[in-house]
């Protein structure tokens, strides 16, 4: 059963005994923003907006890469790792930062790389960051992971029924 599940996600048609089945790559949006900034006039009115988007995405990517060190300690025989997995439930795709699959469980990891002081659970159910005396609201990662978990369970039941534990994990 485990081999079938890994084959569903694997990018190669051969059976995978490797720890990392789907490798991490620099997100296309980061590459696009970098290329655009290289061509855009320094005084262009949208330049700051594109730079902010690039900075946020690059920080997220850096955070995901920093988890790789810890994942390297996992057993190659027990775990398969899928980075930046994008799955279609129906009409709308959903993205998972890291999905770990073993014969006994599926572990969904959502990675955040946010600087400053971080507070969970304000009245609007947001994550709030305080940095340089400025408060910034973000989507609550707990809500995000719950939604991703729901979408993944729905996807799994639609494609193959694998009744494995699926805990919530936020890094």
Count how many residues are written for the chain. 171
5, 11 in Cβ contact below 8 A?
A: no
pLDDT band of 89, cuts 50, 70, 90: low
CB contact at 8 A, 22 and 7: no
Q: Would you state the structure tokens that stand for residue 165, as one six-digit string?
A: 């534990």
Q: How would you label 28-47 residue by residue, b for 16+ Cβ within 10 Å and e otherwise?
A: eebeebeebeeeeeeeeeee
Give 44-94 as a DSSP string.
-TTHHHHHHHHHHHHHHHHHHHHHHHHHTTS-TTT-EEEEEEEE-SSSS-E
- Joined tokens for residue 21: 């089945």
pTM confidence score: 0.74
CA-nearest of 111, 112, 120, 105 to 167 is 105
Higher pLDDT residue, 80 or 35?
A: 35
> For 109-160, how does the pLDDT look when each residue is reduced to its tens digit (9 = 90+)?
888 888 899 888 767 788 889 999 998 888 888 888 888 888 888 888 777 6
Q: What are phi and psi of 133, to 5 degrees?
A: 60, 20
Neighbours of 98 (CB within 10 A): 22
């Amino acid at each position: 059963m485990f081999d079938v599940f890994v084959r569903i996600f694997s990018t190669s048609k051969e059976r995978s005994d490797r720890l990392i089945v789907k490798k991490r790559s620099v997100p296309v949006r980061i590459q696009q923003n970098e290329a655009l900034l290289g061509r855009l006039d320094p005084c262009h009115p949208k330049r700051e907006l594109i730079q902010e988007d690039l900075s946020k995405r690059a920080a997220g990517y850096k955070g995901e890469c920093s988890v790789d060190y810890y994942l390297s300690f996992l057993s190659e025989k027990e775990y398969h790792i899928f980075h930046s997995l994008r799955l279609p439930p129906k009409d709308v795709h959903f993205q998972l930062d890291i999905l770990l699959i073993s014969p006994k469980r599926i572990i969904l990891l959502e990675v955040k790389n946010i600087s400053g002081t971080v507070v969970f659970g304000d009245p609007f159910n947001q994550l709030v960051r305080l940095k340089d005396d400025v408060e910034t609201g973000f989507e609550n990662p707990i809500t995000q992971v719950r939604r991703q978990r729901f979408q993944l369970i729905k996807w799994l039941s639609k494609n193959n029924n694998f009744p494995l534990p699926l805990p919530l994990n936020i890094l």
